[in-house]
């Protein structure tokens, strides 16, 4: 660490005023996707991958494009087209701009005075794209932390509200998502989340309960380096739920109940029960969404794990899988071999401890 940098929880502040924050990828362990249907989930922050944002005071407000993720210079037309087909049109600049706008709006709406001063924002990330690991929200989360420290308003914006702020910045850009990912990234560690309609209507956010990360068994992450065969068919689940589709409503309730059961199983270290719940979570999702929507590559990642007797489910919407090998190291070895033969990457999961510092903790509702 630079001797001129002072460390905060997941952040650095230099003597020159530069502020740096990390936000990590997210794994939805149980209950997803019920977070957008007034359900319950359990998620954790993944130390294997992260986004990193730097804010430096400057005469003008500048958003620096990333030299890779915001590429605007190409070797040829073929290069441009291939790039767009593999990476899409958007990098992180629009995310940084959006959180700046929504942060300003939140402060204005809540009579939080911001001191004058400009800055330059830049970012980097190693979170795999299109892997269902919440790479976009990690950039937004890290940027928000930088803004909180630059304007010295961390104590004025409650921890429980910050995931809503991050989500609003993404919705501004047309990104469809729920609160689960942003809660996991703001809090860090392992978190049980209750998004019941009563809580959401009354509080504007869910009830978030941190759990001890040491209660988790060893887990593994499986993902595709180039998820080109992700599900391309648009899901109709949201509209079916709004229309009162009994299958969707009952299945989504069962998915939410899985998170509640999972909380008890984790607290008791009942890993056999946890394995059953993880498998059931994916099976319900598959029943609701259908194979065409989920995509053959995504389903194959789940099946590769199950063929060696491991339990497995999506980490999020698609693109990566969290797997648990209840039989221990020999089963892990078989899973690693199968993944490599199938062309998938696999890593032992490292869970991030809580990201909240003393100032953050004082803002939490009692």
Smallest CA-to-CA distance from 138 within 105, 181, 180, 98 is with: 181
Report residue 140 as tokens. 């937004």
Task: Kindly state the average pLDDT of the residues 349-357.
Answer: 94
Answer whether residue 271 shows pLDDT above 70.
yes
Predicted pLDDT at 9:
54
Selecting among 75, 109, 124, 181, the annotated active-site residue is 181
Q: Do 65 and 91 touch, CB atoms closer than 8 A?
A: yes
Range(s) of the chain covered by CATH 3.30.230.10: 19-214
Q: Please give the CATH number for the structural domain made up of 19-214.
A: 3.30.230.10
Predicted pLDDT at 233:
47
Predicted pLDDT at 128:
87
> Which residues 6+ apart lie within 8 Å of 190 measured at CB?
29, 42, 43, 44, 210, 211, 212, 213, 215, 216, 266, 351
Predicted pLDDT at 313:
96
How much of the chain exceeds pLDDT 70, in percent?
92
Q: What is the DSSP string of 270-326?
A: -HHHHHHHHHHHHHHHHHHH-HHHH-HHHHHHHHHHHHTT-EEEESSSSSEEEEE-T
Predicted pLDDT at 231:
42
Give the distance between the most distant pair of CA atoms in the chain.
60
Strand 220-223 and strand 320-324: pairing? antiparallel
Predicted pLDDT at 303:
96
Provide the whole-model pTM.
0.90
Predicted pLDDT at 10:
56
What H or E segment, with its residue span, contains residue 25?
A: strand 19-30
Q: Do 70 and 93 touch, CB atoms closer than 8 A?
A: yes
Task: Kindly state the average pLDDT of the residues 1-26.
Answer: 69
Report residue 176 as tokens. 């469809």
Residue with more model confidence, 84 or 334: 334
Q: What are the tens digits of pLDDT across the range 226-266?
A: 654 444 445 788 889 889 989 899 999 999 999 999 999 99
Answer whether residue 68 shows pLDDT above 70.
yes
Task: Kindly state the average pLDDT of the residues 61-80.
Answer: 86
Is 181 considered catalytic here?
Answer: yes
Smallest CA-to-CA distance from 27 within 198, 260, 177, 188 is with: 188
Smallest CA-to-CA distance from 297 within 221, 219, 222, 220 is with: 222
Task: Kindly state the average pLDDT of the residues 292-305.
Answer: 93
Report residue 173 as tokens. 């850009």
Give the fold, CATH level 3, of 215-348: Alpha-Beta Plaits (3.30.70)
Task: Kindly state the average pLDDT of the residues 193-201.
Answer: 93
């Amino acid at each position: 660490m630079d001797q001129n940098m002072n460390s905060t929880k997941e952040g650095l502040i230099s003597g020159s005023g530069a502020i740096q924050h990390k936000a990590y990828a997210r794994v939805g362990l149980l209950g997803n996707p019920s977070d957008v249907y007034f359900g319950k989930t359990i998620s954790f922050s993944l130390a294997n991958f992260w986004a990193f944002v730097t804010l430096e005071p400057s005469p003008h407000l500048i958003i620096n494009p990333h030299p890779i993720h915001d590429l605007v210079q190409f070797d040829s037309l073929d290069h441009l087209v291939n790039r767009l087909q593999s990476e899409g049109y958007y990098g992180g600049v629009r995310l940084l701009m959006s959180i700046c706008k929504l942060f300003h709006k939140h402060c204005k709406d809540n009579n939080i005075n911001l001191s004058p001063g400009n800055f330059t924002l830049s970012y980097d990330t190693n979170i795999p794209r299109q892997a269902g690991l919440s790479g976009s929200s990690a950039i937004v989360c890290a940027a928000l932390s930088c803004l909180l420290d630059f304007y010295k308003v961390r104590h004025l914006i409650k921890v429980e509200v910050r995931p809503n702020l991050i989500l609003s910045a993404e919705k501004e850009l047309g990104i469809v998502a729920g609160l689960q990912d942003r809660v996991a990234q703001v809090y860090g560690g392992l978190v049980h989340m209750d998004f019941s309609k009563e809580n959401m209507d009354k509080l504007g956010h869910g009830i978030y309960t941190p759990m001890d990360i040491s209660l988790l068994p060893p887990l593994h992450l499986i993902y595709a380096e180039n998820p080109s065969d992700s599900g391309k068919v648009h899901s109709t689940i949201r509209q079916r739920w709004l229309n009162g589709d009994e299958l969707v409503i009952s299945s989504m309730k069962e998915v939410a109940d899985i998170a509640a059961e999972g909380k008890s199983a984790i607290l008791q270290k009942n890993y056999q029960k946890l394995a059953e719940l993880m498998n059931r979570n994916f099976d319900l999702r598959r029943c609701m969404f259908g194979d065409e929507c989920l995509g053959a590559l995504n389903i194959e990642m789940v099946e590769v794990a199950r063929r060696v007797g491991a339990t497995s489910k999506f980490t999020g919407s698609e693109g990566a899988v969290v797997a648990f090998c209840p039989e221990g190291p020999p089963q892990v070895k078989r899973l690693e071999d199968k993944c490599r033969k199938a062309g998938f990457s696999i890593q032992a999961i490292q869970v991030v401890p809580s990201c909240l510092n003393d100032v953050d903790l004082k803002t939490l509702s009692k």
